[in-house]
Amino acid sequence: MKINEVAVGGPCWVEHGSADPQGAQRFYGELFGWRAETDERPEAGGYTYLRLDQAIAAAVAPLMGEDQPTAWTVSFAVADADASAALVRGAGGSVLVEPTDALDLGRFVIAADPSGAVFGLWQGRSLAGAEVLNAPGALGWVELLTRDAAGATAFYPAVLGWTVNPSEVYTQWGLAGLDFGGMLVMDERFPPQVPPHWLPYFAVADVDVSAFRAGNLGADVLLPPVSMAGGRRVAVLRDPIGAAFALYSAGHEG
């Protein structure tokens, strides 16, 4: 992505909602070199930050309900969580978790776009969001997989003020033209039971090496490493706990 720090409207956080938080910490610690740091306050409920060197890169949290699947949730920075929740509803989306304070860290919303793709909104206070982006081992790109491209193109700019950079094969999202993510239209290659969703891409120095290592650590390789336009190399995997994620060659932002 072409933004290197948290900006209102842009991706700011990724959280692994996990049926096996300890397993997730082990897997991603081995893969990306993340160091787990659990918030010991009882009211934090076991929330664990994942640090890349000293910078917070992501988090792992226990599942909040029996019907919640293990998955990565991508969150976007907002100035006012309550106002943004109203914008979600006004644009045809739904609010799954009403604006809620997260201790002194910030205020969050869990929402879904009109097609059902789930995402988060984060109004940072003491924690603005991820402290590192684009570096190997950090969030490097976010992608919406949807069957309703027209609906998504109307919804997200209305809620988050994104710019839209379309081409014949791929649409990219941006802030003032600085692209940070994209949209892939789900076609017959995707089974009907696969819902629309947001997919985080983590930057790595070598996609092939990291995909191979992830496989050895128990991940399923859903899309083997492949080169995209502009020399970007990507791979899509599912971790041993069941969450999908992708790898992205660092240095090919936007």
Residue type, 73: T
Predicted local distance difference test score (pLDDT) of residue 40: 87
| The domains spanning 11-124 and 139-249 adopt the same CATH topology | yes
**Span 8-15, mean pLDDT?**
98
Report the alpha-carbon distance of residue 174 to residue 192 in Å, rounded.
Answer: 29
pLDDT greater at residue 57 or residue 167: 57
Answer whether 1's CB lies under 8 Å from 180's CB: yes
Instruction: Assign 122 to helix, strand or coil.
Output: strand
180-200 pLDDT, tens digit per residue, is 999 999 999 899 999 999 999
Report the alpha-carbon distance of residue 160 to residue 193 in Å, rounded.
Answer: 28
82-100 pLDDT, tens digit per residue, is 999 999 999 999 999 999 9
Residue type, 25: Q
Secondary structure string (H, E, C) spanning 139-197: EEEEEEEECCHHHHHHHHHHHHCCEEEECCCCEEEEECCEEEEEEEECCCCCCCCCCCE
16-62 pLDDT, tens digit per residue, is 999 999 999 999 999 999 999 999 888 888 899 999 999 999 999 99
Helical segments of the chain, H only? 21-32, 81-90, 149-160, 207-216
Domain 139-249 has CATH 3.30.559.30: no
Predicted local distance difference test score (pLDDT) of residue 249: 93
Q: Where are the beta strands (DSSP E) in 30-93?
A: 35-38, 48-52, 55-62, 71-77
Predicted local distance difference test score (pLDDT) of residue 47: 93
- Reported confidence tier of residue 254, pLDDT bands at 50, 70, 90: low
105-151 pLDDT, tens digit per residue, is 999 999 999 999 999 999 999 999 999 999 999 999 999 999 999 99
Predicted local distance difference test score (pLDDT) of residue 29: 98
Which strands make up the sheet holding 233-238, listed edge to edge? 163-166, 171-175, 178-185, 139-146, 197-204, 244-249, 233-238, 220-227
**Span 147-165, mean pLDDT?**
97
Domain 11-124 has CATH 3.10.180.10: yes
Predicted local distance difference test score (pLDDT) of residue 1: 87
> Which of 203, 204, 253 has its CA nearest to residue 230?
253
- Reported confidence tier of residue 232, pLDDT bands at 50, 70, 90: confident
Report the alpha-carbon distance of residue 155 to residue 143 in Å, rounded.
Answer: 15
Q: For residue 223, what are the β-bridge partners? A: 236
Domains in the chain: boundaries: 11-124, 139-249
Computed over every residue of the chain, the mean pLDDT equals 95
